[in-house]
């Protein structure tokens, strides 16, 4: 509840006899007026001044003497770090972390521009490794989401540069991100940082597969290893957040297989040697299952259905049917779990997955067999029926969840006087 | 015993840690600059010739793309056991000719001893063909002040450019200048 809301509304509450004037004063005292952290105009003004300075420097960069360029780089680096520390001390963490993040970016810019200045293009990315290390250390010190995001991005950028320009995979960079940021995630399983980290790691894994010229399906071994790490995380939400990107990747792959897998043209790209691939995947599965069992999350085991290596089947109808069965089984397992746990969000996701699987099945299996108008008629009826059923299920779950919420808020669920109560979602 | 993360994020340690981190970053950048100076000051100088390349490809924004005559080496110059592998690190023994240009005498998997008038340049195998192989030296980009790249581009179209390279005793190499000197 904002202070402004309190200021404007509370006199009315007193008039209506809801609270006394003394209580109103108590309430106002409870939520003191926040001191304006920093006016908007000064920020805009300093951004404009900064930009003009930047453009002057950038326009004359090549003409400046080397020592001056170096001094400019290091000066702005020191400046943004000290400004960041200053604002943190003044109790303005957003601006403070932002400026420290800027300092980190300037460090990378300094390394690159100094190397260019002296025509030193490193033998490898060792020059840029320092950038990843600095980012990891700063994330540890400040524990800010922004710094974690920047560090993961820097790791991905350095790795991309290594692969694109040098044609090598920098194992040190990869291990710095896995070890440094992975340990951070393990101790502080923040959901946003976890998803960012997982995406960054998947990016590194993808680059590794590209450099190795391996079959692209090998990608799922490191991807599911990330997933398995999420199973072992004691914090459920933090572990889940790490798993989502891997699951999305696996789902999209299975989905693509269902749509395009009919032709057998992919055989050379997708099929790694059967035994090593299955052995690796089963090993990861074992790690994942052990984690699920240890943390009591065996209910999520059906997610591994998406990893069934259907691409070993020869193309054609058998593959299409097999992938569809997997997609349906997966959607069904999500729906079943959502029902069991009374989780409206999962229910929505399950419904979307189910509709997606149905759409694919419909296009793949029935398009060729029937008249177009019949096709659309049947499809419409099918989707309408499905949406009716799912809405009913959703309403039932929400109805079951609402009294619970109401109990926690201490007011009847229909009362409008409880704007603070977590409102039920309006997606029914 | 607290864990690493709590150690790092203890509020009391925040200021000294930030100072140490910033100091390390400044020192690192200064170190990169110092290595650049030292390579010129202490390094052995060689002059390499470029091969004329498609002028459209030469100029890439603020750097000139260079392709060296010694980048393409016949397999007969290879002094290792077994064929060279892609991405393998190699050492090129350079000898200075009468025209002061350095040419490749041999390519070795381990650093060879350089005699008088010889220098060793590190490189990487990029491609292996039937009778030759291609090398990369990380000297393929020359960062130029805006506009002056065009002059080099015109010159490079007609004649090989002369690239002055400084090779530090610790193996690091940098371009000190690129001349369009016609001979």
> What pLDDT does residue A66 have?
84
Distance, in Å, from the CA atom of A232 to the CA atom of A247, rounded to the nearest integer, reads: 16
Q: Which residues lie below 8 Å from residue A137, measured CB to CB, with a gap of 6+? A: B8, B17, B21
Distance, in Å, from the CA atom of B165 to the CA atom of B50, rounded to the nearest integer, reads: 12
CA nearest to B33, candidates A106, A74, A126? A74
Which chain A residues touch B9 with a CB distance below 8 Å? 140-143
> What pLDDT does residue B52 have?
65
> What pLDDT does residue A291 have?
94
Q: For A340-356, what is each residue's pLDDT tens digit?
A: 888 888 888 888 898 88
How many percent of chain B have pLDDT more than 90?
Answer: 12
User: pLDDT class for B89, splitting at 50, 70, 90?
Assistant: confident
Distance, in Å, from the CA atom of A113 to the CA atom of A77, rounded to the nearest integer, reads: 13
How many percent of chain B have pLDDT more than 70?
Answer: 84
Interface contact B8-A103, CB threshold 8 A: no
> What pLDDT does residue A402 have?
66
Residues of B with CB under 8 A from a CB of A: 3-6, 8-9, 13-15, 17-18, 21-22, 24-26, 28-30, 32-33, 35-37, 39, 62-63, 87, 122, 126, 138-139, 141-143, 145-146, 172, 174-176
Distance, in Å, from the CA atom of B112 to the CA atom of A93, rounded to the nearest integer, reads: 56
Cβ–Cβ contacts within 10 Å for residue A390, how many?
Answer: 18
Q: For A237-248, what is each residue's pLDDT tens digit?
A: 999 999 999 999
Top residue of B13, B18, B34, B48 to mutate, by most chain A CBs within 10 Å, is B18
Q: For A44-81, what is each residue's pLDDT tens digit?
A: 777 788 788 777 777 777 778 888 989 999 999 999 99
Which chain A residues touch B39 with a CB distance below 8 Å? 118, 120
| Mean of the per-residue pLDDT values of chain B | 82
Distance, in Å, from the CA atom of A365 to the CA atom of B15, rounded to the nearest integer, reads: 65
CA separation, residue B94 to residues A175, A292, B77, B103, B159 (Å) = 37, 61, 12, 5, 21
Cβ–Cβ contacts within 10 Å for residue A163, how many?
Answer: 19
Which chain A residues touch B163 with a CB distance below 8 Å? none
User: pLDDT class for A222, splitting at 50, 70, 90?
Assistant: very high
Contact B85, B128 (CB under 8 A): yes
Among A327-336, A345-354, B8-17, B141-150, name the one with the lowest average pLDDT: B141-150
Burial class from Cβ neighbours inside 10 Å (0-12, 13-18, 19+) for residue A64 reads middle
B123 torsion bin: left (phi>0), alpha (psi -120 to 50), beta (else): beta
Residue A422 has pLDDT above 50, yes or no: no
Sheet holding B59-60, edge to edge: B59-60, B63-65, B141-143
How many Å lie between the alpha carbon of B119 and the closest alpha carbon of chain A? 18
Which whole number is the average pLDDT over B101-109? 89
Distance, in Å, from the CA atom of B70 to the CA atom of B114, rounded to the nearest integer, reads: 17
Distance, in Å, from the CA atom of A256 to the CA atom of A250, rounded to the nearest integer, reads: 10
User: pLDDT class for A258, splitting at 50, 70, 90?
Assistant: confident
Top residue of A66, A78, A104, A121 to mutate, by most chain B CBs within 10 Å, is A121
CA nearest to B174, candidates A39, A171, A116, A48? A116
3-state secondary structure of A394: helix
Report yes or no: A140 at the B interface, CB cutoff 8 Å: yes
């Amino acid at each position: 509840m904002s202070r402004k809301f309190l200021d404007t509304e509370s006199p009315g509450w007193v008039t209506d006899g809801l609270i006394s004037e003394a209580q109103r004063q108590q309430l106002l005292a409870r939520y003191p007026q926040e001191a304006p952290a920093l006016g908007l105009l000064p920020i805009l003004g300093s951004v404009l001044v900064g930009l003009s300075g930047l453009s002057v420097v950038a326009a004359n960069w090549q003409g400046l003497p080397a020592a001056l360029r170096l001094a400019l780089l290091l000066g702005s680096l020191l400046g943004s770090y000290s400004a960041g520390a200053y604002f943190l001390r003044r109790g303005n963490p957003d601006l403070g972390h932002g400026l420290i993040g800027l300092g980190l970016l300037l460090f990378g810019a300094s390394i690159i521009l100094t190397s260019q200045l002296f025509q030193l293009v490193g033998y490898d990315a060792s020059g840029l490794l320092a950038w990843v290390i600095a980012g990891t250390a700063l994330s540890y010190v400040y524990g800010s989401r922004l710094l974690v995001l920047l560090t993961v991005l820097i790791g991905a950028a350095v790795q991309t540069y290594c692969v694109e320009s040098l044609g090598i995979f920098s194992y040190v960079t990869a291990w710095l991100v896995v070890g440094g940021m992975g340990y951070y995630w393990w101790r502080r399983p923040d959901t946003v940082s976890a998803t960012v980290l997982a995406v960054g790691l998947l990016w590194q894994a993808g680059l590794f597969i590209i450099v190795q010229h391996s079959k692209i399906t090998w990608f799922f071994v490191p991807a599911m290893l990330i997933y398995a790490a999420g199973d072992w995380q004691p914090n459920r939400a933090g572990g889940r957040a790490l798993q989502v990107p891997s699951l999305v990747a696996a789902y999209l792959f299975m989905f693509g297989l269902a749509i395009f897998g009919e032709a057998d043209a992919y055989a050379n790209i997708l099929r790694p040697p059967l035994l090593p691939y299955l052995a690796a995947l089963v090993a990861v599965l074992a790690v994942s299952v052990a984690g699920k069992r240890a943390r009591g999350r065996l209910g999520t085991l059906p997610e591994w259905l998406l990893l069934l290596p259907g691409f070993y089947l020869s193309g054609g109808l058998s593959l299409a049917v097999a992938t569809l069965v997997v997609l349906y089984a997966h959607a069904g397992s999500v729906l079943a779990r959502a029902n069991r746990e009374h989780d409206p969000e999962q229910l929505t996701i399950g419904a979307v997955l189910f509709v997606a699987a149905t759409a694919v099945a419909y296009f793949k299996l029935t398009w060729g067999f029937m008249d177009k108008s019949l096709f659309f008629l049947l499809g419409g009826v099918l989707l309408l029926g499905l949406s009716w059923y799912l809405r009913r299920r959703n309403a039932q779950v929400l109805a079951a969840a609402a009294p619970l919420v109401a109990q926690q808020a201490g007011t009847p669920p229909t009362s409008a006087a409880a704007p603070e109560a977590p409102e039920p979602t309006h997606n029914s | 015993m607290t864990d690493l993360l709590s150690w790092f994020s203890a509020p009391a340690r925040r200021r000294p840690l930030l100072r140490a981190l910033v100091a390390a970053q400044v020192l690192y950048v200064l170190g990169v600059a110092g290595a650049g100076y030292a390579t010129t000051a202490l390094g052995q100088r060689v002059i390499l010739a470029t091969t004329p390349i498609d002028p459209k490809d030469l100029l890439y924004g603020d750097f000139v793309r260079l392709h060296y005559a010694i980048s393409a080496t016949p397999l007969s110059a290879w002094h290792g056991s077994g064929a060279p592998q892609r991405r393998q690190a190699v050492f090129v023994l350079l000898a200075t000719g009468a025209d002061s240009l350095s040419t490749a005498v041999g390519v070795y998997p381990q650093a060879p001893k350089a005699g008088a008038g010889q220098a060793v340049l590190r490189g990487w195998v990029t491609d292996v063909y039937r009778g030759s192989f291609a090398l990369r030296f990380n000297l393929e980009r020359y960062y130029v002040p805006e506009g002056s790249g065009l002059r080099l581009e015109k010159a490079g179209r007609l004649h090989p450019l002369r690239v002055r390279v400084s090779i530090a005793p610790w193996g690091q190499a940098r371009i000190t200048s690129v001349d369009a000197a016609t001979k």
